[in-house]
Amino acid sequence: CRSLGVGTFADPRSCDHFIICMGGTWMNFPPHVMSCPAGTRFDRNLKICNYASRVPCDH
């Protein structure tokens, strides 16, 4: 997360996971990898889990 900064980011290895990076004293903690609900994928543009049919996946 130190190189990415604070925010929510797509997991480079999975279309249905995303990474949360926190700032401040939380920077010492590892990134939190979260799963999208079934049938959804992480939308890099909207930064939310969106219907899989609306999010291209090249994994």
Query: Distance between CA atoms of 21 and 58, rounded to whole angstroms?
Result: 24
The pLDDT, as a whole number, for residue 29 is: 74
pTM value?
0.83
Query: What is the number of helices (H) and of strands (E) in the chain?
Result: 0, 5
The pLDDT, as a whole number, for residue 43 is: 98
Question: In order along the chain (59 residues), what is the average pLDDT of each group of 10 residues?
Answer: 85 96 70 96 97 93
The pLDDT, as a whole number, for residue 49 is: 98
Burial label for 44, CB within 10 Å (0-12, 13-18, 19+), is middle
The pLDDT, as a whole number, for residue 44 is: 95
